[in-house]
Structure 1
Amino acid sequence: MSHYPKSGTWQTCRACGRHVHQSQWGQWRQCPYCQHWQRLTARQRLTQLVDPASFQPLPMPEQAHDALAFPGYQEKLTTASHQSGADEAIIIGTAKIAKRPCVLAVMDSHFMMGTLNTVVSRRLQRACAVAQRRRLPLIVVTASGGARMQEGLYALFGMNLILAAVARLAAAAVPLITVLTDPTMGGVSASFAFKGDVIVAEAGAKIGFAGPRVIQQTMPAQLPADFQSAEQLWRHGMVDAVVARPDLRAYLQTVLASYAMGGNADAID
């Protein structure tokens, strides 16, 4: 009889390196030794943010298109789907937070580091279009390492398409609330992440464009210890608030109440 623990019982904290039992992470997925916040899947994020059974996914039949025939890309997609249980790096749908309707787009860093590709771009554009048509606030939760290199220029072009959809949303006076979580980097931070009418950063999140090692090698410069942290961005006026994970739902509830648009979450597209 084996005395080894079941697979997945223990995880190593990315911050302090301690081994943490699955029962120790708690409801909010926080390391009991260093208080580092574990990265959430999109489904875990939805469970924490929205009213029970209120999330209704929007139909999204598209799958990633390997236009460049990038070597090994299809295998990576299959592996990512198997490991994460998701079909892509984002989930979109309608939901309610404290009975207030909204459209939600939640990125998932567990699927190829939440990278932006053609499918993610199309889903974000659809979320914008649904929010505009139904007159509902759009909440985008970012968790991404940037654009997906396997799709090259197609992934980068998606940044402009999303920005155009966000511009149409703004012209229609429909609010966009962006929630920046760990990590929000590269083309995501350089495009729509900072386009929100309200920009919220989750406490402890790493947010930036290029990584600190690349910046130090390029400049060169001595970077502060809290470089690219949510807290540093708040001190420099880049985000409206830094909110701890347990308080994030209540904060979004307050933001939605301030808009009180009264749109229709149950309309059929």
Structure 2
Amino acid sequence: MNPIITLEQLPSLELDLQAELDRMTEGVRMSLPRVRVEHSPSGKHKLFLDLGPRLEDENDVQEPLKGNKLSGIVIAHQHIRAIFEEGATAPLCAAVDGHPTVDNPQAGSCASCSLSGFGSHCKPKVRLLVLAPTEKGELALWVFPLSPTSIKQWNRYVQRLARSKVPYVAVNTRFELKDIQRPPYRYAEVVMTAERLITKFELEQVKEARSVFDDVLGTVVKDDYSDPGDATGEGKS
């Protein structure tokens, strides 16, 4: 960080900080914080929030989630796929819900693509948009890309909700980590539990948050494939 900039002195400028921030970021597509899983060969997996780099720290700011748990409202989900060449920041090919999002896709759809089969380099994920409380108690939007091994847990959860005729947007969902050992691999799967029905206030927040869904999750980006498990053996068995 530049030693000339002392953030503690910012309030002395007597600016309307929120108004200035809103004006500064108008028209700029802001990236949302992302929930990530750190897989450990010892079984001590971690669930944390990746806030991205800040002025005072060029490295991504990471905040551990208390108790390795996350409670929030899933307001939307997408099935995504992507192939990234080594060192590339943009995908060679990518799709959202089976429809390509790049100019020159490998095929017209995922269903007709030979690279979308099991074990291929085109890795499937489920990307969740979660409305969850911050440490200050405010509701904020977080992106949670689930790895292939956690997709089956998500599908089971959705099936349970559907059998009870309860949409996921109507409940507060708890996300936790489950240790999986399949030699030579050891990794975590994300499991979901419905905690309670949401309140009317939360429902209004959900409706407002859904208005940014298309803007935030219209494409596949490198951050969707930046979890530690994306570069390890996790999910291969």
TM-score by length of 2: 0.29
Structure (1 or 2) with the greater helix fraction:
1
**Normalising by structure 1, what TM-score?**
0.26
Higher RCO structure, 1 or 2 (CA under 8 Å, sep 6+): 2
Structure with higher strand content: 2
